Amino acid sequence: TFLWYEKAESYLYTRIILGSALAWARASAICLNFNCMLILLPVSRNFISFLRRTSSCCRGNLRRVLDKNITFHRLVGYMIALHVAIHIIAHLMNIERYHISQSSTAGGLCNVLSSIGNNSNDSYLNPIRDYNTNTTKDIFFTLAGITGFIITLTLVLIVTSSTENMRRSFYEVFWYTHNLSIIFFLGIVIHGAGQVVRGQTKQSMLLHNITYCKDHYNEWGEITQCPLPEFSGNKPVTWKWVVCPLALYTCEFIIRFWRSKQNVVITKVVRHSSGVLEIQMKKRGFKMEPGQYIFLQCPTVSQFEWHPFTLTSSPEEEHFSVHVRAVGDWTEDLYKACGADKKVLLEPWQLPRLAVDGPYGSATTNVFQYEVSVCIAAGIGVTPFAAVLKSIWYKYCNPNIQMKLQKVYFYWICRDTHAFEWFADLLVSLEEQMAKQGKTFFLSYHLYLTGWDDNQASHIAVHHDGNLDVITGLRHKTIFGRPNWHKEFRHIANHHPSHSIGVFFCGPKSLSKILNKMCNLHSSSDPRGVHFHYNKESF
């Protein structure tokens, strides 16, 4: 597109006024159209889930690409912001050059081109008709100017509210501003109808000999081969780029709305330590896989907000559950609405209504696709692995089920001892089940405590020689401090020298970068050697 506007004869006279800023404006516009076509696809969750199901027989690389849908969405968002910035800067330069070309000091061909359109029968090239006019006011109150301002303002609000700190601290702001994307898409579809940038019409080019006439502009309209050139703008084409993604997203919205109206029954609410609330639910026709996630809405708290939560139950259980930690306004309000801030929990009929959208696939669902899997969690990031470990427990209880998965390494890093409490019971049950079946080798788990006070340290030191861990009650003792990931990955690689090993992580970005680096560092260059495949939980 850039080369077309730099070389095309139909835009020769436009380039004489605007220079290369014309090509920059149009090239950034077409890139903006392309990225606006892509931006909705990775957040069409049902579409992504459909692709995951159809690719179940394919290699793991394709499934891992689908797990990066939110990362891809962010990257496309960055490109939209970049091209909008280029487009705005280029058009600011265009407006200034349009204005200057109306000046008597511009002289020559620029003055002649700008004067075209003064007669009622002429089609103009320069949208600024008078040098003494208020350029900012005239351009701003055009269709292109108003829609351009709205698009820019909307994009600034969406981008600034999408930062990690904003999402963590003020998720409601992030949620509401993202819904402004409807205004953004309407704006870009209408924006091109202003037709500010104009080129010579095909009919005019047949009659107007550019090669000769550009050097004899003083004779325009006086000789046959040089009639006054006629100009027109391009018809808007953005709708052609975004109509299919918008139609897909509309279907996505209808499906989500239909699901939100389905009845959800809360069967049990359990209050755990560290402000963690377990909500057990039932819903007709609900089917899940280990590691999937859902979106929850509580109309009592907010009529519009949906928040993602990983399912902590297994498919073999009669209910499905989530663990919610009260760390923000919405989760704290849900915590109170369920009566968890009081000594006595509410009866099921007293609990607020919940709407559920999902379940949706995530990276953790691929744990069973490997013979060896490494599951790493930090803090509340253990929730997806709760479902995985429960499912493993049920599968081992059923002798008729054969699993491809033969070995699981489980790492959990917590800052305080209370975080272990709600999850320790599951690990104890799993440990006992594996011991009964003589398969203690199957699960190798490592629990790390990174924070403790003096009283806890004294208590731990006194009971350290016991058979069971003083914190979790497990046979495996809690390790104090942080893991040495070089040592851990080297150990796993040595024990499985020719395996493809899946590494699954849920936790902070800083640790994710380290683990991704470890996977690349300890993977063999030999195709027959060990290879670590990194998968990060994201929704």
Judge whether 72 lies within some domain: yes
Are 325 and 471 found together in one domain? no
Per the prediction, the chain carries an average pLDDT of 82
Judge whether 460 lies within some domain: no
Q: Read out DSSP for 61-127?
A: HHHHHHTTHHHHHHHHHHHHHHHHHHHHHHHHHHHHHHHHHTSTTT-HHHHHHHHTTSSTTSPPS-S
Predicted structure pTM score: 0.77
Are 339 and 379 found together in one domain? no
Q: What is the mean pLDDT of residues 289-295?
A: 84
Judge whether 377 lies within some domain: yes
> Is it the case that residue 453 has pLDDT exceeding 60?
no
Are 440 and 507 found together in one domain? yes
In the three-class reduction of DSSP (H, G, I as helix; E, B as strand; rest coil), residue 502 is classed as strand
Are 150 and 128 found together in one domain? yes
> Is it the case that residue 539 has pLDDT exceeding 60?
no
pLDDT, residue 84, reads 95
When comparing pLDDT for 143 and 401, which is higher?
143
When comparing pLDDT for 219 and 24, which is higher?
24
Are 219 and 315 found together in one domain? no
Judge whether 59 lies within some domain: yes
Are 214 and 299 found together in one domain? no
Are 148 and 198 found together in one domain? yes
User: What is the edge-to-edge ordering of all strands in the sheet holding 293-297?
Assistant: 307-310, 293-297, 355-360
Q: What is the mean pLDDT of residues 174-195?
A: 89
CA–CA separation, 125 and 197 (whole Å): 8
CA–CA separation, 536 and 510 (whole Å): 12
Mark which of 249, 275, 307 sits at the end of a domain: 249
Judge whether 105 lies within some domain: yes
CA–CA separation, 466 and 469 (whole Å): 7
Judge whether 461 lies within some domain: no
Phi (first) and psi of residue 482, to 5 degrees = -110, 150
Counted domains in the chain: 3
pLDDT, residue 419, reads 58
Mark which of 249, 284, 301 sits at the end of a domain: 249
Mark which of 341, 360, 379 sits at the end of a domain: 360
Nearest to 420, CA basis, from 429, 430, 412: 412
Are 189 and 281 found together in one domain? no
Which range of residues forms the domain containing residue 192? 2-249
In the three-class reduction of DSSP (H, G, I as helix; E, B as strand; rest coil), residue 487 is classed as helix
Q: What percent of the chain has pLDDT over 70?
A: 86
> Is it the case that residue 38 has pLDDT exceeding 90?
yes
When comparing pLDDT for 390 and 227, which is higher?
227
CA–CA separation, 535 and 363 (whole Å): 6
Are 228 and 342 found together in one domain? no
pLDDT, residue 33, reads 94
When comparing pLDDT for 312 and 61, which is higher?
312
Are 65 and 207 found together in one domain? yes
Q: What is the mean pLDDT of residues 2-25?
A: 91
> Is it the case that residue 463 has pLDDT exceeding 50?
no
Q: What is the mean pLDDT of residues 267-285?
A: 82
**Where residue 308 sits, what CATH number does that domain have?**
2.40.30.10
**Where residue 403 sits, what CATH number does that domain have?**
3.40.50.80
Are 41 and 135 found together in one domain? yes
Q: Read out DSSP for 270-335?
A: EEETTTEEEEEEEETT----TT-EEEEE-TTT-SS--EEEEB-S-TTSSSEEEEEE--SHHHHHHH
> Is it the case that residue 409 has pLDDT exceeding 60?
yes
CA–CA separation, 1 and 30 (whole Å): 7
Backbone Cα Rg of the chain: 31
Judge whether 426 lies within some domain: no
Q: What is the pLDDT of residues 247-266, one digit of tens each?
A: 999 998 898 888 888 888 88
CA–CA separation, 363 and 384 (whole Å): 10
Are 149 and 287 found together in one domain? no
Given pLDDT bands bounded at 50, 70 and 90, which one contains residue 426? low
Task: Determine contact, residues 18/27, Cβ cutoff 8 Å.
Answer: no
Phi (first) and psi of residue 101, to 5 degrees = -70, -15
Judge whether 255 lies within some domain: no
Q: What is the mean pLDDT of residues 130-142?
A: 79
Given pLDDT bands bounded at 50, 70 and 90, which one contains residue 467? low
